[in-house]
Amino acid sequence: MRMLKDLFGRSYRSAAKPRQMLAVLLMGFAAAITMHAQSTNLVPSAGSGSEQAFVATFTDPNGVQNVQSLSIAIVNNVAPDTESGLPANGCVVNFMVSSGIIQLAQDTGKSFLATTADAGTDQTVSNSQCTVLGASSSITISSNAVTAKIFVTFTASFSGPKQIFMLAENRNQAGGMNFQTEVGTYDVTASVSSVFISPSSGSGSDQTFTTIYSDPTSHIQSVGLNIKSTRNNTSAANACKMRYDPDTSNIFLVNDAGTTYGSPIIAGSAASLSNSQCTVYGMGTSATTFGTNVIVYFRVSFFPGFIGEKVITMGGADETGASTFSDLPLGTYLVTAPASGVQESFDLTSTAVRVASVGVPATSTITVIPNESFKGRVLLTCTVISPSDVVSPPTCGFDTPPISVTAPTTATLFINTTATSTQELHDPVQQTSFVIGGLTMAAILFIPLSHRRKWRTLLSLAVVAVSVGASTGCAITHNQGNTIISSTSYSRTPPGSYIVAVTGVSGSITATTAVSVTVK
């Protein structure tokens, strides 16, 4: 019986082996056909510009019901792969198919930013290389294709030729970022980056807008501010679009048709420019160049026919004439009818800050100047504008609550910087901890104990010494100015040029001044 079982068992296995091999071959053939039939496509697959709507499509004749996301990576000749993860200093976008959530990789790569944008909304997500606009992005699903439209604007520092890779990720492969297919190239020609505008929301018929632009790769030739009724940036018709040339102090305003700028006026002059939407004034419009930034104050008033909510966009051109005027909405402004009588307002002025020694607080004097009999309480806030890759930028703050203004009134802005980590060793408490630890270890070496007990005791005391040193040396915090800094997380504020935007608010009235901060 055993021999029969062995015989039939061998016979069955012998017969099953060819069938198994055939099945494997058929499965491999089917898989090969399926993989070959799958395809990815990107439009445009080649091009140039400072912004672009990329249309990425993944097609599978067997259906795309399991596709979780589509991703594109716009990078500097560094192909993403599973082992290295997301590349640093790239524009890597992940579009979730079912939810419409858009993710963007951090500057350092490896992971996505915590902030996201929802397709079809005004939300945006940005890193130092690019910004993705939710309003101009969308996802479309058919039986055998997933198409993602991803609208991207680029920064000036990301200029140059790029490679584009694409990934379609299935649900059972969640988290795996393995870009295998290069689908195109793109020459980023971004010139001037729009950094800041204030107010980015508000209302009124008369406003001075504070704008900041940056170009770390070139000289800024001109900057622009567009206040318009529509998101369509292909035409500036019926808009309040202004331009400022820092080298000449010339101010321009676009005509009603949006086709050309008229003759300029000089900043600081009593002249003004008008179209049917707005008036821009020479008096009150000015600019300052600081480091790689240009700060421009545009003083504008609006006509009754332009009433309603408007979208704010910004742009500029570098010394080569390469222009970047993005459709990226940087804010909204509700234009209201001119108030009857005198409209109250106030202005802000500031003094520059020079930090000669990091770790030592510095100050700027902010002056609130009332206009047209303004009387009221003004709340002052501040925002530090610095490159995104700075680990420990300066911090800012005020030590006063809202101030009452009936005449020119001053407040003190505090600027704090972080000293280098080597200065931690000068802390007397921390020095004490090192001394205690050293004395403890020295005592250990001189304790007369038997061989076995000695080593047990030495080990125990060593653990105690390390614990004591760690608890007394690592838990120290100390106050520098208005900023509490942990002694275990020091990172020096790097030298360079920074800008602190100070904004004053009183009801619907808003004013902003930019404080230049130089860290030596």
- pLDDT of 455 reads 46
Q: What is the pLDDT of residue 33?
A: 40
DSSP SS3 for 106: coil
Is the N-terminal amide bond of 361 cis, ω within 30° of 0?
no
Please give the pLDDT value at position 84: 58
Whole-model pTM: value is: 0.70
Cα 218–222–223 angle (5° rounding)?
Answer: 105
Starting from the edge strand earliest in sequence, which strands make up the sheet with 160-170, in order?
48-49, 181-188, 160-170, 67-75, 91-96, 101-104, 117-118
Task: Report residue 517 as tokens.
Answer: 């901060």
Name the range with the highest mean pLDDT among 67-76, 295-304, 398-407: 295-304
**Arithmetic mean of pLDDT, 157-185:** 78
d(CA 112, CA 93): 9
Q: Which residue has the tokens 């802390």?
A: 427
**CA separation (Å) from 86 to 92, 104, 501?**
7, 10, 33
Quick check: 223 pLDDT over 70?
yes
pLDDT, tens digit, 9 for 90 and up, residues 124-167: 899 999 999 898 899 999 888 999 999 999 988 899 999 999 98
**What is the dihedral angle through the alpha carbons of 440, 445, 449, 454, rounded to the nearest 10 degrees?**
80
Q: Tell me what pLDDT residue 276 has.
A: 97
Give the residue-averaged pLDDT of 200-229: 93
- In the predicted model, what is the mean pLDDT of residues 92-111? 92
Q: Tell me: pLDDT of 350 over 50.
A: yes
Q: What would the two tokens of residue 114 be?
A: 């915590």
Q: Burial code of 177-192, b = ≥16 C-beta within 10 A, e = fewer?
A: bebeeebbbbebbbbb
Is the pLDDT score of 169 beyond 50? yes
The residue with greater pLDDT, 321 or 17, is 321
Phi and psi at residue 311, to the nearest 5°: -100, 140
Confidence tier at 514 by pLDDT (50, 70, 90): very high
What is the chain's length? 520
Q: Which amino acid is at 424?
A: E
What contacts 24+ positions apart, CB below 8 Å, involve 433-442? 433/468, 433/469, 433/472, 433/473, 434/469, 434/473, 436/465, 436/468, 436/469, 436/472, 437/465, 437/466, 437/468, 437/469, 440/464, 440/465, 440/468, 441/465
Beta bridge partners of 379: 505
Q: Which of 146, 112, 147 lies closest to 132 in space, CA to CA?
A: 112
Place 6 in a pLDDT band, splitting at 50, 70 and 90: very low
Amino acid occupying residue 68 = Q
pLDDT bucket at 453, cuts 50 / 70 / 90:
low
Cis link prior to 408 (omega < 30° from 0)?
no
C-alpha span between 123 and 121 (Å, rounded): 5
Contact at 8 Å (CB) between 137 and 102?
yes
Tokens of 21: 């091999």
Spatial contact of 415 and 361, defined as CB atoms under 8 Å apart = yes
The CB density around residue 283, as the number of other CB atoms within 10 Å, is 13
Q: Give the tens place of pLDDT for each residue, 467-511.
A: 444 444 443 333 333 333 333 445 899 999 999 999 999 998 999
Structure confidence at residue 325 (pLDDT): 77
- pLDDT for position 62: 80
Residue 342 reports pLDDT greater than 50: yes
Per-residue confidence at 8, pLDDT binned at 50, 70, 90? Answer: very low
d(CA 117, CA 306): 30
For 309-330, what is each residue's pLDDT tens digit? Answer: 999 999 999 988 888 877 778 8
What pLDDT was estimated at residue 484? Answer: 32
- Whole-angstrom CA distances from 36 to 33, 58, 142, 249, 444 are 5, 13, 20, 60, 71
What pLDDT score does 218 carry? 84
Tell me if 517 sits within 8 A of 415, measured CB to CB.
Answer: yes
Structure tokens given for 160: 């140059």
When the pLDDT of each residue in the chain is averaged and rounded to a whole number, the result is 80
8 A C-beta contact, residue 456 and residue 464: no
Long-range CB pairs of 422-425 (<8 Å, 24+ gap) are 423/359, 423/490, 424/487, 424/490
In whole angstroms, how large is the CA radius of gyration of the chain?
31
